[in-house]
Amino acid sequence: MPPARPLHIKLQKRIERLLELLAGDRGVIATEFPYRPVPDLQYWFADVAYIPKADWDALPPDDYPIYAPPLVVEALSPSNTAAKVNRQRVIAMPAGTGEFWVVDADRRTVQVTDLRSATIYAAGDSIPLTMFDGPRIPL
């Protein structure tokens, strides 16, 4: 696989910065965060993930625990297809992910799936961040 396109990296960085401002001291926003939501499954790397401070502090230094971040953000790309991302969402959500975002730069949309529903946000909309006490991210 070729490396990520500059657009992909720029999206990751922009989302990381926006979420860091809103998360504050609640936890860590990480790009390319490795996670394994269930045993006997390969490791995945979230383009952007939110890890609460208690979870971050509890991560073992030399092992990869079974863990699904509460917020996973994936940007569609040639190596990260809609089908692959959907499989990740279907497995991560019951394992502990509370929100799973799919960013489609070509369509300029973000699909946010939580435990109740899925909503597609487009340019001009703002995404509510319930896990950070209600601020919104403008799209």
User: Tens of pLDDT along 66-89?
Assistant: 999 999 999 988 777 788 899 999
How far apart are the C-alpha atoms of 74 and 131, rounded to whole Å? 18
- Cα 46 versus chain centre, distance: 6
| DSSP-assigned beta bridge partners for residue 57 | none
Domain locations in the chain as residue ranges: 6-138
Q: Which pLDDT does position 97 carry in this prediction?
A: 97
- Both tokens of 21, joined, read 């401002």
For the sheet with 44-52, list strands across it: 27-35, 44-52, 71-75, 99-104, 109-114, 118-122
Average of per-residue pLDDT values in the chain: 91
Query: Do 52 and 26 contact (CB within 8 A), yes or no?
Result: yes
Q: Does domain 6-138 have CATH number 3.40.50.720?
A: no
pLDDT of 103 higher than 90: yes
pLDDT of 13 above 90: yes
Task: Report the predicted TM-score, pTM, of the whole model to 2 decimal places.
Answer: 0.93
Would you give the DSSP letter of residue 64? -
